[in-house]
Structure 1
Amino acid sequence: MDKTVATARDAVADVPDGASLAVGGFGLCGNPMALIEALLDVGSANLSVVSNNCGVDDWGLGLLLGARRISTMTSSYVGENKEFERQYLSGELTVNLTPQGTLAEKLRAGGAGIAAFYTQTGVGTQMAEGGLPRRYNPDGSVAEASTAKGTREFSVDGVMKPFVLEEAITTDFSFVHALRGDRHGNLVFNKSARNFSPLAAMAGRICVAQVEQLVEPGEIDPDAVHLPGVFVHRIVEVGYDIEKRVERRTVREAEGAAS
C-alpha cells in the first residue's frame, strides 16, 4: 500500500517514447513541475499530451514542447505560448482543440470507465461537423482536419435537441501536483489547482502524484480527500519551497496613490 517513490526521476523513469500523458493544473497553477522536469531529463519523446493548456514558453509543459518532446497536444486553451503557436502553424505539432468543459468530462469519463457521452457543446460548429485543422503543412495549408462526430437528438423539457457524441480520454500515464497526500495515495489539492488535476489523475492508467507534504495514512480526514488513493500509483514529496509562477500578475495602485 505504500506508494511513495524516492525521487521524481524514479517516478517517471519508465515513461517510454510515444506514451500518452494527462497532466493536471489550471494555467500555471498546480503544474507538476518536478515531474515535468524529471521527464525532460529522462528524454522521453513523441509524447501525446492532454492538459488544459501547454504552459508558457519557459514553464509548465512549455519545457517539453520547447525541447520538441510533444508531438500531439489536446488542450482547451493555448493562448500564452508563442512556441506552441509557431509549432502548430508550421506543421510540427498536431493539436486537438477541445472545449474546456468537454475536455474535463472526457477525462472524468475515461477514469470512470465510461466510453463516451453526449453533450450540446459544439453543436453546429466545426467541433461537431469536422474540418477543424489538427495539423498544418509548412506552407500553411491544412494537412489534417478533424472528422465529423456522431450526433443524436434527445428530448430536453419536451423539446428535441441535438447532441454531439464525445469519446472519453484515457492515457498511459498521468501527472498531478497536490498540496498534501498520504502514503496510500489519497490527495488534497489547493484551490484552483483542483480544477483539472483529479480528472487528469483518473484518466491515467498509471498516475504519478507530486505532493508538497507527505503524511501518514489516517492523517487526512476522509471527508477532506479530493482524490482517493485507488487512482494513484506513485507519490513523491517535493516540499513547500518549490517555485510557483503566475501567468499574468495584475495589481492595482494603492488607494490614494498618485496616478
Structure 2
Amino acid sequence: MIDKQVASAAEAVADIADGASLAVGGFGLSGNPMILIEALLAQGTTDLGIVSNNCGVDDWGLGVLLNAGRIRKMTSSYVGENKEFERQFLEGDLELELTPQGTLAEKLRAGGSGIAAFYTQTGVGTQVAEGGLPRRYAPDGTIAVASPAKDVRSFGGRDYVLEEAITTDFALVHAAVGDRHGNLIFNKAARNFNPLAAMAGRVCIAQVERLVEPGELDPDRIHLPGVYVHRIVEVGPDIEKRIERRTVAAPAAGPEGA
C-alpha cells in the first residue's frame, strides 16, 4: 500500500526551494490550493517561477505570494483583477509569459503526457507566433525581454505554430475528495486547471477537503489517477473559499397584489 498522506501543509511544501518552478491549479479564485499557498508563504520560499491561469487578486490566491515579492515569473493566460501584478510587471519587477488559455492548458497536459511539443493554429499571425511580446520591462519602460519567434509550419494548407510543453518542479492543486493513494475528485468549476497542473509537476502536492481510504472512491468518478500525485494533505471542508465578484439578479416581481 502506498500511503501518500502527509501530516500538514507545512510538511508537504517543506522541500520547495528558492527558485523552484510550480504549476498551480485554479481559475480566478475557484479551486485555488490556498492552504498550500499560505504554507509556502509562511515558509519564506522566494524567486518562484509559477505557471497558473492567473495570479489571484491582491489579497488572495497567488496574489499573496506576489504581494510578498516571492514570484520572479508568471506564465499565465489572464492577468486582470490584480493591481499589484500590473505594477510589478510594468515596473520591471516581474516577468510574464502571456499564453492563450487553451494553449496553456494543452502545454500542461502535454508536459504531463510526455509530449515535448505540439502544433496549434492558436496565435498564428500574431505576436504569439511572431515574437515581440513584452516579457519583462526595464525600469525606464522599454522592453528588456521580449518573446521569441516560434516555428510555424503548414499542414493541410493551414499554418500552425509550435508550442513547447510545460513541466515544473512541483504542482500545487486543490481537490474535493482524495484517497491515500492520491486518486482525486474535483468539484464542479474547481476541476479547471487543477488536473492539468497536477500532471505537469514532477512532484504533485494535493490539498483535499476530505480524505478517504483506498477503495472507497468509485473508479468511474475519479478525475485524476493517483499516479500523478505524490503527497496529499487533508485540509477539511470548512476552508475559506472566495470568488472575485458575485452577480445576482433582482427578484422577479410577483403578480400584482401578491
Query: Does the alignment reach a TM-score above 0.5?
Result: yes
Q: Deviations over 1:82-141 (max 9, x none)?
A: 000000000000000000000000000000000000000000000000000000011111
Report 1:1-259 matches (<5 A): 1-155=2-156, 160-256=157-253
Report deviation, 1:256: 2.1
Report deviation, 1:195: 1.6
Secondary structure of 2:42's counterpart equals: helix
Instruction: State the alpha-carbon separation in 2 of the partners of residues 90 and 251 from structure 1.
Output: 37
Instruction: State the alpha-carbon separation in 2 of the partners of residues 233 and 41 from structure 1.
Output: 22
Instruction: State the alpha-carbon separation in 2 of the partners of residues 125 and 152 from structure 1.
Output: 14
| C-alpha RMSD of matched pairs (Å) | 0.7
Secondary structure of 1:27's counterpart equals: coil
Secondary structure of 1:35's counterpart equals: helix
* Unmatched tracts of structure 1, length 5 or more: none
Instruction: State the alpha-carbon separation in 2 of the partners of residues 112 and 230 from structure 1.
Output: 12
Which letter maps to 2:75? T
Aligned length: 253
Instruction: State the alpha-carbon separation in 1 of the partners of residues 106 and 249 from structure 2.
Output: 36
Contact 2:31 2:192 in 1 (8 A): no
Which letter maps to 2:251? A
Which letter maps to 1:192? A
Report deviation, 1:227: 0.3
Which letter maps to 1:248? R
Q: Deviations over 1:47-90 (max 9, x none)?
A: 00000000000000000000000000000001110000000000
Instruction: State the alpha-carbon separation in 2 of the partners of residues 195 and 69 from structure 1.
Output: 24
Instruction: State the alpha-carbon separation in 1 of the partners of residues 151 and 86 from structure 2.
Output: 29
Secondary structure of 1:162's counterpart equals: strand
The alignment's TM-score, normalised by the length of structure 1, stands at 0.97
Report deviation, 1:182: 0.1
Secondary structure of 1:4's counterpart equals: coil
Which letter maps to 1:30? G
Of all paired residues, the percent bearing the same amino acid is 75
Instruction: State the alpha-carbon separation in 1 of the partners of residues 14 and 183 from structure 2.
Output: 22
Report deviation, 1:192: 1.2
